[in-house]
Structure 1
């Protein structure tokens, strides 16, 4: 079987993973220091793990292929440690940047991993289409899935009525980061137009409202593509967005053009720090830096939950809530209110064994989700996780936004073939440079899709 190759940066979420995680290509050892977790939460997780294993100490091992490395992998291993303790099952996690190639090699060699976890949902869907993934409806009780996950999240991992995967960790997109001591605009805008009215007035007064950086090495342009993707989802609505990502609606459609134009208004001359040249050359991880200069160069940055820790790592004296905060991107259309975008890892099963089935049931539990929240790295997709499991103030707030959403959907470029994704990323750069060429830019992506 052949997977659609998606390169080292695994679309939207994968670009984040590539930027944030120092991924390993070898099987991980247990971290020497694990994140501090409440003893009661660990004990509850051990009990849930034993239940997931049918009350037995199974022993043996389960293999898992993913994209995590470094501190992120250490955090995930702290989540599965209670499972190992309770069941006697060793979790052998292999992290790699080249997920698709390594998985294909393992499959071709007759040695596939038991479980896989990746932010590239399209790869998982391709595996499901080839019959390579176990229907998780046969592994995890439907009552548990329905109680623990929003319907829209389960829909993302479903094909032909079979559940090929469910979210294991989540990042929330569409957040506006700002310095409360300097930003004087609305923090609960009723609409995108209201926020942009403030931004246009700021620009008219000779100040720059938006901070933007599109540089990200081989994945440069993804921050623009991600936000255009989100704009389209929330402007044209989930039904159109799904048809577009699946190829049933063309890139040249008026709705797609409108999404680009909406983004273009945000990065127009006078609206963005440093102008086009700076936007193109600034690494996305450093885009917020001018916000904290002695005289602020800009006031707002649009990015996902992970950006909070990146900013506080760069400016460790910032106090969350006092010097740095966020609010969600407001509605872009009154016809589609309350929609949020997410990215994250999808967990799937290639080989069903008592050990892999038990680990899958454990990771779907409230108790495992609580430990994921406690890592301070991710949001848990599990809606039954208590809010006080989040010690990180930004994740706690983001969890509130996520749970209050009318519906959540993945960005379209997480399900597209990599050549189309590459063209989408590049279009963000091309559009920033020459917004008047939008028609040709969109036709170019449509041509790539047709190949």
Structure 2
């Protein structure tokens, strides 16, 4: 994990580090598959295996709020495995024939690929469709294969409470004021994909966004290319070498620390709602504004990018089916988001008018559930895995070299990766309000 103070390393070193981390993650994934095999060999039944991305404190909270109540009620043991490289872990598990019974992933595109290979089990009889809007339980070949356990709102920019709101546009025009960290282990680059996705959504609306996220709008189109160049100018790519190196060498969760440095080294962060619970934004009493107010050329009205932790079933054992019903219940979802200060989009898990909480949290929840707003799922998460991963890597390469010829090469390559007919694309990624 790179720290912000290591700014003098070359961008090329960052790219090599990203690829090295990916190789290491793949090795760890093979080890994890062996662990799952060992657990099952013990014959401790009834047992259900669960893979998700929560580790450390988050894993402890998840166990306390969601898993332990299930174990007490159903007398079923949950063997939980948390990994920040869960995509690699799951891939290795599937390859060795030892996949978990239940998995929680952030990418519907990745889940769609597994469903296309008939490695997921339909959930039609285990969840109630009326509990979730169709944008969250997108049908595939007539069946539902996943549902959201937790959701986050994107398309927002955080700023310290001390900042006069009337100065935000002026501040946004200075690249040095944006807090940006591109590092995230095996998934490095995703903060850049979030930027480009949101810019496209705000500049051209949900129609263009959805065509692109479904593989029907070329990466080389004027709309998509404009989103990349807009982000490059905001991030200082091309003319601010120190800023680019800082972004490439900073882990995404460390970017916020620059807000509370003495003196502050940045004051705006384009990041999802979860970032408000990290220490720096708590200390800065973080406020938010819709990104549409700060993105140059934004024309969309009330359009929001969203993301979620999605639950899917690989083995339909009685224990796994019981866990799916539990995770899809209003009670479990309410308990989890209360522990994590997150959000649920389950119709029955919403807070009552008497519930108290931070004003920013209530406001974000209302936006996330607003039936008149347009919500679009994170485009890279909705894309086939190989396209998603190449997109993330391309954002790193673009920051290091934002030249037009290099950008054209990156976009041409992404078009070639998006073209095979064997890829599984989602039927939709946006709802369109009421």
Say yes or no: TM over 0.5. Answer: yes
CA distance in 1, matches of 2:95, 2:238: 54
Aligned to 2:149: 168
Aligned partner of 2:364 in structure 1 is 398
Counterparts of 1:327 and 1:271 in 2: how far apart (Å)? 27
The partner residue of 1:119 within 98, 102, 106 is 106
1:255-294 alignment, distance < 5 Å = 255-268=223-236, 275-294=243-262
In the alignment, the residues of structure 2 paired with residue 140 and residue 250 of structure 1 have an alpha-carbon distance, to the nearest angstrom, of 36
- Map 1:55-70 to 2 at 5 A: 60-70=46-56
Distance 1:355 1:423, change over 3 A: closer
The verdict on how the C-alpha distance between 1:107 and 1:376 changes in structure 2, with shifts beyond 3 A counting, is closer
Is the 1:210–1:273 contact (alpha carbons within 8 Å) kept by the matching residues of 2?
A: no
When normalised by structure 1's length, the TM-score is 0.72
Question: Which residue of 2 is the match for residue 441 of structure 1?
Answer: 410
Specify the alignment match of 1:72 in structure 2: 58
Which whole-Å CA distance do the structure 2 matches of 1:74 and 1:393 have between them? 27
- Contact between 2:50 and 2:80, CA under 8 Å: does it hold in 1? yes
Contact 1:215 1:282 in 2 (8 A): yes
When the two structures are superposed, what TM-score results if normalisation uses the length of structure 2? 0.74
Contact 2:151 2:345 in 1 (8 A): yes
Q: Quick one: distance in 2 between partners of 1:335 and 1:208? A: 25
> Against the structure 1 CA distance between its residues 352 and 433, is the aligned structure 2 distance closer, same or farther, given a 3 Å change threshold?
closer
User: In the alignment, is residue 153 of structure 1 matched against residue 122 of structure 2?
Assistant: no
Shift of 1:253: 0.7
User: Which consecutive residues of structure 1, in runs of 5 or more, have no partner in the other structure?
Assistant: 1-8, 10-14, 19-23, 28-58, 188-194
Distance 1:134 1:65 in 2: 16
Distance 1:162 1:233, change over 3 A: farther
Deviation of 1:177 (Å):
1.4
Aligned-partner SS, 1:442: helix
Q: Matched residue of 1:443: which SS?
A: helix
Q: Which residue of 2 aligns with 1:41?
A: none
User: Structure 2: which 5+ residue stretches go unaligned?
Assistant: 1-17, 26-30, 37-44, 421-434
Task: Count how many residue pairs are aligned between Structure 1 and Structure 2.
Answer: 375
Q: Match for residue 425 of structure 2?
A: none
Give the Å deviation of 1:363: 1.7
Please name the residue that 2:15 is paired with: none
Q: Secondary structure at the match of 2:270?
A: strand
In structure 2, relative to structure 1, the CA distance for the partners of 1:236 and 1:105 (3 Å cut) is same
Q: Is the 8 A contact 2:50 2:81 kept in 1?
A: yes
CA 1:292–1:435 in structure 2 vs 1: closer, same or farther (change >3 Å)? same
1:412 Cα deviation after fit: 1.6
The CA deviation string for residues 375-412 of structure 1, in whole angstroms up to 9 with x for no partner, is 12532232432336785776444323312361322212
Which position in structure 1 is the counterpart of 2:327?
Answer: 363
Q: Supply the distance in 1 between the matched residues of 2:93 and 2:183 (Cα, whole angstroms).
A: 33
CA RMSD of aligned residues (A): 3.5
The 3 A distance-change label for structure 1 pair 283 and 74 is: closer
Structure 2 Cα separation of the partners of residues 107 and 214 of structure 1: 29
Aligned mates of 1:137, 1:305 — CA distance in 2? 30
Is the Cα contact below 8 Å between 1:210 and 1:298 reproduced in 2?
yes
